[in-house]
Amino acid sequence: MSILVNKDTRVIVQGFTGSQATLHSEQAIEYGTNIVGGITPGKGGQTHLGKPVFDTMDEAVKSVQPNASLIFVPAPFCKDSILEAAESGIELIVCITEGVPTLDMLDVKKRVDELDLTLIGPNCPGLITPGEAKLGIMPASIHMQGSIGIISRSGTLTYEAVKQTTDLGFGQ
């Protein structure tokens, strides 16, 4: 059962060619997540992990029609990255980055609410629909398909709750 993402979710990764985005995008692709490309300004026209790289979200939207964004950019650039995704009509924005300035997020929250979009994060482990799609940094191996939704501000507490429900035979 999925609420926000499934195997058909079309994911674009912002900050795609950076080391953390590369690591977690590789894992997501291996998991079966439908990553349709990535954004790294100045690297548009290249490919990375077999996927196209774009300079801007507008270019990506026109070319590969993503409906979700996974953000791995440094904290000072998060506000612009989130707003770029929002203004391009991305319905679900997941921001992994920690240390994003609070005042930046006040502006972001206002705009995301005005556009009626969903923002998860920043400073979160992401989200997963077991067996379908993984957008984030959580270990896939501890998840099991089921009907329990688990959400937390803390990655470690999330992983513990997931592990315990999985061990008891319940899935997420």
Q: pLDDT above 70 covers what percent of the chain?
A: 99
Digit-coded pLDDT (tens) for 42-101: 999 999 999 999 999 999 999 999 999 999 999 999 999 999 999 999 999 999 999 999
Cβ neighbours of residue 88 closer than 8 Å, sequence gap 6 or more: 57, 58, 60, 61
**pLDDT-based confidence at 2, cuts 50/70/90?**
low
Q: Domain coordinates of the chain in residue numbers?
A: 11-167
135 in Cβ contact with 69 (< 8 Å) = no
**Is the CB of residue 27 less than 8 Å from the CB of residue 140?**
yes
Closest of 82, 62, 64, 63 to residue 72, by C-alpha: 82
Q: Is the pLDDT of residue 1 over 60?
A: no
- Specify the CATH superfamily of domain 11-167: NAD(P)-binding Rossmann-like Domain (3.40.50.720)
Q: How does residue 151 score in pLDDT terms, banded at 50, 70 and 90?
A: confident
Inform me whether the pLDDT recorded for 13 exceeds 70.
Answer: yes
**pTM of this prediction?**
0.94
Instruction: Say if CB 66 and CB 11 are below 8 A apart.
Output: yes
